[in-house]
Amino acid sequence: MLIAAITVTAGLILVLVWTAVRLRFFVPQASDAARPVPVDRSGLIRSARRRITLSIALTLASAATAVILNQSHPTALGLILALAPGGAAIAGLAAFVVYPSPAIQKSPLRTASLRRRTPWSFGARWELLMPVSAAVALIAYLVTTGLSASLDQDGLSRALSRADPLSTRVTTPYPGWYYAAPLIAMTIILLLCAWIALRRIAVAPAPSDEESAIADDYWRQRTTRFIVLLTTSAILSYAAGVLAFGGAATTRIATSIDASGTPVTTADDLVAGIVQIGISILFAVAATGMLGSLIKRVVAFWTVRTPETVNA
* The pLDDT of residue 105: 59
Please choose, from the candidates 207, 142, 202, 153, the residue with its C-alpha nearest in 3D space to the C-alpha of residue 176: 142
Partner residues linked to 171 by β-bridges: 160
In sign, the C-alpha dihedral spanning 111, 116, 122, 124 is: negative
Please choose, from the candidates 47, 191, 66, the residue with its C-alpha nearest in 3D space to the C-alpha of residue 129: 191
* The pLDDT of residue 175: 95
* The pLDDT of residue 121: 72
* The pLDDT of residue 32: 47
Read out DSSP for 188-255? HHHHHHHHHHHHHHHHS---SSGGGHHHHHHHHHHHHHHHHHHHHHHHHHHHHHHHHHHHHHHHHHTE
Q: 109-130, pLDDT tens digit by residue?
A: 445 454 667 777 777 777 788 8
What 3-state class would DSSP assign to 68? helix
Partner residues linked to 163 by β-bridges: 168
Q: Which residues of the chain have pLDDT under 50?
A: 2-3, 23-34, 109-110, 112, 114, 309-312
